[in-house]
């Protein structure tokens, strides 16, 4: 069914039993309480997650690692200063003020981050609307600017990871599961990856296509990837502010974002003596890693292998794939799990544009690769 988004609504408590979760929500405007019964509860309620506190799952990590900041969300028409440049984030440094300007709509809504130092007696209370307007004017470099302040909120760069991402029928994702400094820009990616990993598993279990044990692989797969990313973001921050020595500077940013490998019962491992490298991006169809991109011609259009990934499992094969098609059809009807089969060859459903799929996915012409709905390789065989 369709999802419903409720605004001004807070989850205040929940109970779980063997069959599901009963949550109590309250409308903050009317005070009306309501009970909702569901199979599962996904805690995507941010850094101060009420649900994580309720689960009593402990966290590990270095805590506050990079100072204290004020987040000033404001309205001002800055278009005359910026034409025609577009940016997401810009650091402003001048003798009077030091901070970062972040765009909300690249026209008249912005966020300005400015640091404060509690050890010098500074506190969030020092940042009145008047002072924040002065800070923004100094940062922009003009004295006559119409500014409307929407909010002034303190925040701290922190490193914190929940020790478990699952409590029976409750799953922690995003900032509720892990906090990391903004260095490197990994926070949003990591939260979206959590959701991507969990969504297809929940769908499979709810549609009775998989045993609920599949849901345990969410923690098994994501926790390691998150710990690695969180540590890297902190190390980057330390190397910037010289608080410590970064041990990961040799790593590639893209490898941290998309190059990790999952290990769980939802991956059929290959017998390999070579460990997966994390210091550089190495995607070649190995089970547990992201399916690599290659260009294909499909139904008259040029697309990426990644464009075929989505709702169902996918089986990529070479040109002689009638046996694979039959096998996929049998497995699909036996398990009730849809599998899309694509033959990649000069005569197949998908025609190679630049690279040979055998080289990109490290298989022979008789090989096959099974890809999960989240785009990770579940299994590979190099021959038939």
> What is each CA distance from 40 to 57, 206, 309, 349, 372, in whole angstroms?
17, 9, 25, 39, 22
In a 3-state reduction of DSSP, which class is residue 60? strand
pLDDT at 271: 84
pLDDT at 112: 94
Could you give the domains of the chain?
Answer: 62-158 (3.30.9.10), 163-275 (3.50.50.60), 295-381 (3.40.30.120)
Question: What pLDDT sits at residue 3?
Answer: 84
The CB density around residue 185, as the number of other CB atoms within 10 Å, is 12
> What is the four-CA torsion angle of 300, 302, 304, 308, rounded to 10 degrees?
-20
Return left, alpha or beta for 2; rule: phi > 0 is left, psi -120 to 50 is alpha, else beta.
beta
* pTM for the full predicted model: 0.87
Residue 312 is predicted with a pLDDT of 95
Check residue 242 and give its pLDDT. 61
Segment-wise mean pLDDT, segments of 10 residues, the chain, 384 residues: 87 96 97 97 95 95 85 92 78 85 90 89 92 94 93 91 97 97 88 97 96 98 94 82 54 87 95 82 94 95 95 92 93 95 91 91 94 97 82
Contacts of residue 208, defined as CB under 8 A and 6 or more positions apart, other chains included, come to 336
Own/partner contacts of 54-60, CB < 8 Å, gap of 24 or more, are: 54/13, 54/14, 55/167, 55/170, 55/172, 57/162, 57/163, 57/164, 57/167, 57/172, 58/162, 58/163, 59/160, 59/161, 59/162, 59/163, 60/160, 60/161, 60/163
């Amino acid at each position: 069914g369709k999802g419903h988004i409720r605004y001004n609504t807070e989850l205040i408590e929940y109970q779980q039993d063997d069959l599901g979760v009963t949550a109590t929500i309250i409308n903050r405007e009317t005070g009306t309480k309501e009970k909702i019964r569901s199979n599962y509860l996904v805690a995507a309620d941010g850094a101060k997650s009420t649900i994580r506190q309720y689960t009593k799952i402990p966290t590990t990590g270095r805590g506050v690692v990079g100072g204290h900041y004020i987040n000033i969300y404001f309205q001002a028409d800055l278009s005359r200063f910026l034409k025609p440049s577009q940016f997401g984030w810009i650091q402003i440094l001048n003798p009077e003020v030091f901070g970062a300007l972040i765009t909300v709509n690249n026209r008249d809504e912005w966020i300005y981050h400015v640091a404060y130092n509690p050890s010098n007696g500074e506190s969030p209370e020092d940042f009145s609307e008047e002072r924040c307007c002065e800070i923004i004017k100094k940062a922009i470099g003009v004295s006559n600017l119409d500014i409307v302040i929407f909010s002034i909120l303190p925040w701290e760069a922190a490193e914190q990871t929940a020790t478990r991402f699952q409590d029976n029928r409750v799953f922690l994702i995003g900032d509720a599961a892990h906090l990391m400094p903004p260095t490197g820009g990994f926070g949003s990616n990591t939260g979206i990856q959590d959701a991507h990993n969990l969504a297809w598993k929940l769908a499979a279990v709810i549609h009775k296509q998989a045993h609920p044990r599949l849901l345990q692989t969410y923690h098994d797969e994501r926790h390691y990837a998150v710990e690695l990313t969180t540590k890297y973001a902190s190390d980057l921050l330390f190397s910037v502010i010289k608080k410590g020595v970064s041990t990961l500077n040799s790593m590639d940013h893209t490898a941290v974002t998309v190059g990790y490998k999952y290990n769980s019962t939802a991956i059929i491992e290959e017998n390999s003596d070579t460990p997966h490298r994390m210091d550089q991006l190495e995607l070649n169809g190995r089970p547990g890693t992201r399916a690599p991109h290659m260009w294909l011609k499909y139904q008259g259009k040029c697309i990426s292998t990644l464009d075929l990934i989505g709702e169902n499992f996918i089986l990529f094969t070479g040109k002689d794939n009638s046996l694979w098609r039959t096998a996929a059809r049998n497995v699909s009807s036996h398990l009730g799990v849809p599998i899309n089969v694509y033959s990649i060859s000069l005569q197949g459903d998908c025609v190679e544009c630049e690279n040979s799929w055998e080289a990109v996915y490290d298989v022979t012409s008789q090989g096959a690769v099974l890809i999960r709905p989240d785009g990770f390789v579940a299994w590979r065989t190099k021959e038939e």
